[in-house]
Structure 1
Amino acid sequence: MIKFFRKIRQNLLNEGKTSKYFKYAIGEIVLVVIGILIALQISNWNENRKINNQETVYLQDLKNDFTFDIETLNARVAINNVIVHNIDTIITLISSKKTFTQQDELLLANMTSKLFGESYFIPEKGTINQIQASSSGSFIKNKKLRDLIFRYYSNAERIEKNMEQSIQIYQHQIITPTLLHPAIAKKSMNINAVVSSLDMSQLIKDNDYLNALTLKSIGTQNQNREYLKIVKKAQQILTIINTELSND
Structure 2
Amino acid sequence: MLRFFRHIRKPLMEQNKVRKYTLYALGEILLVVVGILIALQINNWNEERINAQQEKIILQNLRSDLILEQQNLLSHIDAQNIWVDGGVYILRHFDDHSGFEIDTELLKRLNDLFARAGYVPVITTFETLENTGNIDLIQNEELKSEIVNYYQSIITFATNTQNNNADLVDGLVNHVLIELTFLKPNLFTDSSKDWFPVFDQVDYELQSNQMFLDHLQTKLSDLDNAARMINVVNFRILLANIQLSFAGEYLERTADLLELIEVELDK
TM-score, L = length of structure 2: 0.76
Structure of larger gyration radius: 2
Alpha-carbon distance between aligned partners in 1 of 2:233 and 2:68, rounded to the nearest angstrom: 31
User: Does the 8 Å contact 2:55/2:137 carry over to 1?
Assistant: yes
Alpha-carbon distance between aligned partners in 2 of 1:92 and 1:220, rounded to the nearest angstrom: 18
Question: Is 1:185 equivalent to 2:166 in the alignment?
Answer: no
Q: Which residue of 2 aligns with 1:116?
A: 114
CA RMSD for the aligned pairs? Answer: 2.7
- Counterpart of 2:164 (choices 160, 163, 166) is 166
Question: Is 1:94 equivalent to 2:91 in the alignment?
Answer: no
What are the within-5 Å matches in structure 2 for residues 62-141 of structure 1? Answer: 62-98=62-98, 105-141=103-139
- CA deviations on 1:59-87 (whole Å, 9 max, x unpaired) are 11111111111110111102211220111
Equivalent position SS for 1:118? coil
User: Does the 8 Å contact 1:70/1:231 carry over to 2?
Assistant: yes
Higher RCO (CA < 8 A, seq sep 6+): 1
Alpha-carbon distance between aligned partners in 2 of 1:177 and 1:133, rounded to the nearest angstrom: 41
- Counterpart of 1:202 (choices 221, 225, 243) is 221
User: Does the 8 Å contact 1:65/1:124 carry over to 2?
Assistant: yes
Q: Which residue of 2 aligns with 1:43?
A: 43
Change (3 A) 1:47 1:116: same
Q: Which residue of 2 aligns with 1:236?
A: 256
Alpha-carbon distance between aligned partners in 2 of 1:25 and 1:235, rounded to the nearest angstrom: 63
Change (3 A) 1:45 1:203: farther
User: Does the 8 Å contact 1:122/1:160 carry over to 2?
Assistant: yes
Change (3 A) 1:190 1:157: closer
The one-letter amino acid of 1:23's match is L
The one-letter amino acid of 1:159's match is F
User: Does the 8 Å contact 1:121/1:160 carry over to 2?
Assistant: yes
Alpha-carbon distance between aligned partners in 2 of 1:216 and 1:165, rounded to the nearest angstrom: 15
Equivalent position SS for 2:266? helix
Q: Which residue of 2 aligns with 1:7?
A: none
The number of residues matched between the two structures is 230
Question: Is 1:224 equivalent to 2:244 in the alignment?
Answer: yes
- Counterpart of 1:215 (choices 213, 235, 238) is 235
Alpha-carbon distance between aligned partners in 1 of 2:144 and 2:131, rounded to the nearest angstrom: 16
Alpha-carbon distance between aligned partners in 1 of 2:27 and 2:238, rounded to the nearest angstrom: 81
Shift of residue 211, structure 1, vs aligned partner = 0.8
Give structure 1 stretches of 5+ with no counterpart.
Answer: 1-12
The one-letter amino acid of 1:225's match is S
Alpha-carbon distance between aligned partners in 2 of 1:94 and 1:204, rounded to the nearest angstrom: 12
Q: Which runs of 4+ in 1 moved over 6 A?
A: none
